[in-house]
Structure 1
């Protein structure tokens, strides 16, 4: 019985098992009557394939190439498309649709290049430009909330149940992190800002405290 379309190729171990099965049921290089059909039914292949595997191993016939032939890779076309991706400005490479339109490359082709690692997807976030004084103040604030209870050796962080932060919440008008599609040999663009106040924001006044559970309610 012939294999159904889409069935994967027969593994090498199964081919060897079919050949050995038919070798035990052959005489003078000829397969006995009904042996090929029995092997096909046992191993789930067609009779012609079972006979072919036997001839390839015990009659010295050349082994056929497995699977479909590989399509030739057009390296010149790939290199030209990768060059168009590199020449596209970063602000037009934040989505696949925008990159496909700017570089005149089909979206499905870009997806195939991503799977083959010709193009990569990276996320870039704005890094804070911290000075040594900023880092020192951050460390001092964190150490101020470390305490060691009397009679204990281990340090612990203050529970902060009695602390309420009155803060102004600022929301950026545009994203601080962006996604770009780059070629395999490109580095991710580095973006920094001395302070987030340089980004347009909307402000909300908020009170922030650690949640507490009231067992009487």
Structure 2
């Protein structure tokens, strides 16, 4: 479509230029004859060769003598030059998907050049798609997912549409590894600029720290003012250990931050009791009534929902905080996995880090920088995912639709 439009514009431009050349020649003529040097003069004005000007004049003169309509349009458009190579979409659809992962393999299967295929992709004839692997769901998993999504819908009143619960009493928690650097990173350099040199002793052992994050849905008053930002906290799973020997950076017995590389139920319970619960009680809106649910996934290091130590600690100070599990194999039902962790990581990766303390500080700073409306948007995405899960009867073969969250 774009090429046909460009061809039409070019055709109109050439036709208008030929008309201008003919009008300039008419001004140089007398009784149907050109003055001496007129063709050379007009050719210099329009920057074309004298032969082209002469051909236009004789063609127009012949049409006038025959009484036919004056037509100075080019007869060679779309006749000369390289012909456009069109893709046979039916032929492409017959190529196995495993051979449609690179431009080189598709071009080889179609026996065309890579540059031609690349141009067709830029024009939109072929659509690049990034495919991510999803959890394998059993029938029991699908049933649990469907029940979970349906439990989040309020019973509608008579002649009213069903709606989702506001989810103001649900706190999502999850863990994620954050790395001090990535093994492969993209930069945009100016011509002649040296590429950056990044080194480490082994790509398999890049420094990393696991963080436990807890977020709830932000709350706003009737006129849109925020009174609860929803970010409970993000807590690094690290310990302080004394240095065993001196170095140029610190002396012996200096406390160093070390990541906890193996997380157990005892560690999870300790972080919930000593960090997550105090943060919830300190930041939770005072006017809230009713139970508060902490939603976790089914990872083995997570404690049971009926853990006695947690129940005892969570019921103090007038709070009613309970644990609940999301359906198995369902990262799309947790706002942290659904996009909030990735947003934090994108900010953290913009920093240059060298130590564990710098990594911890960068992640916590990125967490604090996230705006509450962005967190609220992820909750809207969660509700959209629930709608799609209900449509596919508990499966995960769906695409998240665009709903224009910024306009809602």
Report if aligned partners of 2:219, 2:229 keep a CA contact under 8 Å in 1. Answer: no
Is residue 330 of structure 2 the alignment partner of residue 195 of structure 1? yes
- Tell me the secondary structure at the aligned position of residue 143 of structure 1: coil
What is the distance in 2 between the residues matched to 1:74 and 1:103?
A: 11
Report if aligned partners of 2:218, 2:226 keep a CA contact under 8 Å in 1. Answer: yes
What is the distance in 2 between the residues matched to 1:83 and 1:161?
A: 50
Bigger shift: residues 124-133 or 91-100: 124-133
1:131 to 146, 161, 184: 146
Change (3 A) 1:33 1:109: same
- Tell me the secondary structure at the aligned position of residue 11 of structure 1: helix
Change (3 A) 1:162 1:87: closer
Which structure 1 segments of 5+ residues have no match? 1-7, 169-192, 198-205, 213-217
- Report the Cα offset of residue 49 of structure 1: 1.3
What is the distance in 2 between the residues matched to 1:165 and 1:86?
A: 49
Report if aligned partners of 1:25, 1:32 keep a CA contact under 8 Å in 2. Answer: yes
Is residue 233 of structure 2 the alignment partner of residue 163 of structure 1? yes
- Tell me the secondary structure at the aligned position of residue 21 of structure 2: helix
Per the alignment, residue 97 of structure 1 pairs with 104
Q: What is the CA deviation profile of residues 128-172 of structure 1, one whole-angstrom value per residue up to 9, with x for unaligned ones?
A: 8753524755965842344457xx75452623565335688xxxx
- Tell me the secondary structure at the aligned position of residue 40 of structure 2: helix
Change (3 A) 1:159 1:112: closer
Per the alignment, residue 211 of structure 1 pairs with 368
Report if aligned partners of 1:88, 1:103 keep a CA contact under 8 Å in 2. Answer: no
Is residue 168 of structure 2 the alignment partner of residue 143 of structure 1? yes
Counterparts of residues 34-113 of structure 1 (less than 5 Å): 34-60=37-63, 63=72, 64-67=74-77, 69-70=79-80, 79=88, 82-102=89-109, 105-113=112-120
Is residue 21 of structure 2 the alignment partner of residue 18 of structure 1? yes
What is the distance in 2 between the residues matched to 1:52 and 1:102?
A: 47
- Report the Cα offset of residue 60 of structure 1: 0.7
Change (3 A) 1:147 1:14: closer
Which structure 2 segments of 5+ residues have no match? 1-9, 65-70, 136-141, 154-163, 170-216, 238-262, 264-327, 333-358, 370-408
Per the alignment, residue 183 of structure 1 pairs with none
**Structure richer in strand, relative to its length:** 1
Q: What is the CA deviation profile of residues 187-216 of structure 1, one whole-angstrom value per residue up to 9, with x for unaligned ones?
A: xxxxxx95359xxxxxxxx9865337xxxx
Is residue 31 of structure 2 the alignment partner of residue 28 of structure 1? yes
**Structure richer in helix, relative to its length:** 2
Q: What is the CA deviation profile of residues 35-71 of structure 1, one whole-angstrom value per residue up to 9, with x for unaligned ones?
A: 1111111111111211222223333187551446156
Per the alignment, residue 120 of structure 1 pairs with 127
Bigger shift: residues 90-99 or 28-37: 90-99
Larger RCO (CA under 8 A, 6+ residues apart): 1
TM-score (structure 1 length as normaliser) = 0.54
Report if aligned partners of 1:100, 1:107 keep a CA contact under 8 Å in 2. Answer: yes
TM-score (structure 2 length as normaliser) = 0.32
Aligned length: 167
